[in-house]
Amino acid sequence: MAVQRISRAFKDISLSFDMHPVTKDILVLKNEDAIRRSIRNLVQTIPTERFFNPTIGADVKTSLFDFVDFGTASILQKQIEIAIENYEPRVENPRIVVDPRPNLNAFEITVTFTIVGLEVPRQQFSYILEATR
């Protein structure tokens, strides 16, 4: 018999460190927003970047200096899928679409997923992944 996971509310601090206008506390991300930010941080983390967990992350930065084509896009897609499956247990059925944007020297990444244990519709977000100098 499969064990069904029941989630509760998820909270995380906003990395912008903006203050709430009334309470003057750091802004809080909740549920879907917290998980979206977590996945984006996971993709942008380079393995060995976190001291006490050097295996966490996706090694997408090395591929950003390759050609901006569909071959590199498929490598990025696989790296992101593996990272999400290994390090983000709060989501299931991730679908990653990586579109090369050669004129911008970047990739547009669209991530679609279902949150485990929350009765919310399937989540989707997109962002541009580009090499920084």
CATH code at position 110: 3.10.450.40
Whether residue 15 is contained in a domain is answered as: no
pTM of the predicted model as reported, rounded to 2 decimal places: 0.77
pLDDT in tens, 15-32: 777 777 888 777 777 778
- The rounded mean pLDDT for the chain is 83
Whether residue 2 is contained in a domain is answered as: no
Number of domains in the chain: 1
Q: Which residues contact 71 (CB under 8 A, 6 or more apart)?
A: none
Whether residue 17 is contained in a domain is answered as: no
- Mean pLDDT within 81-90: 90
Whether residue 77 is contained in a domain is answered as: yes
* Domain of 75, in residue numbers: 32-130
pLDDT over 70 at 64, yes or no = yes
Q: Which DSSP letter does residue 24 get?
A: -
Whether residue 16 is contained in a domain is answered as: no
Whether residue 48 is contained in a domain is answered as: yes
